[in-house]
Amino acid sequence: MATPEETADFAALIRELKDRSGLSYGVLAKRLHMSTSTLHRYCNGDAVPTEYAPVERFARLCKATPEELVEAHRRWILADGARQRERKSATTANVTDNAPAVTPPAPGPEAALTPTPEVSQPAAPKPAVRNRRRTALFAAAAVAVVLAATVLVPRLVSGGGGDDRKQEAGSVTSTGRGTTSPSASPKSSASASSSPSRSASPSESARAKNGASASASAKAGGGAADVAADVPLTVTTRPYAWESPCSQTYLVDEDAGKVPPPPTEQDAPSWVSALGAVSADSQYLELTVQGSGQDTVVLNSLNVRVVESAAPVAWNAYTMGYVGVGCGGGVPTHSFDVGLDASRPVATPKSGQTGLPYKVSESDPEVLYITAAASSHDVRWYLELAWTSGSRHGVLRIDDQGKPFRTSGMSGRPRFGYSLDKSEWVTAQSD
């Protein structure tokens, strides 16, 4: 099977980075904690990583520029999409090929010439047999009615509360692996006019027609999210991305002796979830926005919504990375700063960069980087992305698996860094 164009473009870029670095496959594979053969397959276009994290580590190890990091991410998204399409096509073809062919036997010449012998009609079934069959049919019909009622009743119950449904519509939530996942109430995420249990009111029909309430559903643990027909884009969120290991700190309500070593970036979501940790001082988000069809989608604005703002949590601060090990990293394009301590936080393009609007399509995604900082508050917040495509428009809510993002200041809190020599957390500094 020929290599898809998207996969070939991705492989060409990482080969270029590898050749420019001057490092051998063996050295790179060892530093990336993967086999040499796997790295060969990535560079030859024979395979595509299922996650972006190893691609980013590879690119940083090869001294990629911020622009090259963005381009590597864009090409990986397209190559991963091509890989998933190939897998679906192969599965469909396999099912079709393995389906048994049912061909009725053709009557032979003997059957045409041989008269059909008379067959005596069987005796009529006894009344008891007929009664049993009739009882079985009634029982099956009753089960069907019960099942239908079981399906329809929740829909009828969820049909009320139009305001709540509008609030949840368009919620795009993220998993720790950087993929979108369903919101907490998938039924209520659906557009009001999509429910078969009742007729939509004229106002609801107008909202659905004008795209004022964008609905989105997603695949947990997969690649890009599937969205409803009236939302022509997908948003994949990495809420625990790192601009660099040394730049990311988490607040944890545990003593240093009970906190496990710092994770790698791709394992940060599990580490945060297990410890109930909170992003400290700042939180770095990575949003990948891609059109889901042929139409161009314009990203008009990115707004910050604060759910709650309180005093910072009084927990210990743990910095990722390792004591005595240097960290690097640049500022990628399409980066925004958010000051969560402000009374009305806004997403502001970083110095020298252009802000929204941007255009996206299925073949031309955009990656947005958000640095949300909080020094004197514990803030729960989410984002709203306004979009237009032709006569359609809407707003997508972007949050953390149905919950607001949470970022807290850490002023005055004890700081710890992890020592490789001692294999334990040691006091770093106290703000």
The pair phi, psi for residue 349, each rounded to 5°, is -60, 140
Distance, CA of 255 to CA of 252 (rounded, Å): 8
CA atoms within 13 A on the CB side of 299: 25
As a whole number of angstroms, the distance between CA 115 and CA 110 comes to 9
Among 89, 121, 156, residue at a domain's last position: 89
Token representation of residue 99? 């389906």
Count H helices and E strands in the chain, helices first: 11, 17
Domain endpoint, select from 68, 89, 110: 89
Is 15 within a domain? yes
Distance CA 291, CA 77 (A): 12
pLDDT confidence of residue 109: 46
Which residues partner with 279 through β-bridges? 250, 407
Distance of alpha carbon 224 from alpha carbon 287, whole angstroms: 11
- Alpha-carbon Rg for the chain, nearest whole angstrom, is 29
**Angle, nearest 10°, between helix axes 53-61 and 66-98?**
140
Report the candidate in 409, 402, 405, 344 with the shortest Cα–Cα distance to residue 380: 405
pTM: 0.55
Walk along the chain (431 residues) and give the pLDDT tens digit of each residue.
567 888 999 999 999 999 998 888 888 888 887 888 888 889 998 889 988 888 988 988 898 888 888 889 989 988 888 888 887 777 776 655 555 555 555 554 444 434 444 444 444 444 444 455 555 555 555 545 444 444 443 443 334 434 433 333 344 544 444 444 333 333 333 333 333 333 343 434 333 333 333 333 333 333 333 344 578 999 999 999 988 777 899 999 999 999 999 998 888 999 999 999 999 999 999 999 999 888 899 999 999 999 999 999 999 999 987 776 656 555 567 889 999 999 999 999 987 788 889 999 988 899 999 999 999 999 999 999 999 999 999 999 999 989 999 999 998 899 999 988 888 999 985 54
- What does the DSSP assignment read for 388-414? EETTEEEEEEEEBTTB-EEEE--TT-E
In a domain, 295, yes or no: yes
Look at residue 134 and tell me if it is in a domain: no
Residues in Cβ contact with 147 at an 8 Å cutoff, skipping those fewer than 6 apart: none
Domain enclosing residue 71, as ranges: 5-89
Strands 282-291 and 233-238: antiparallel
Closest CA to 368 of 402, 338, 327: 338
3-state SS class at 177: coil
Strands 392-399 and 171-174: parallel
CATH number of the domain at 13, please.
1.10.260
Q: What is the DSSP letter of 258?
A: G
Alpha carbon distance 336, 366 (integer Å): 13
Q: Which residue type, as a one-letter code, is found at position 411? A: S
> Is residue 99 in some structural domain?
no
Number of domains present in the structure of the chain: 2
| Domain boundary pick from 42, 68, 89 | 89
Q: Is 229 helix (H, G, I), strand (E, B) or coil?
A: coil
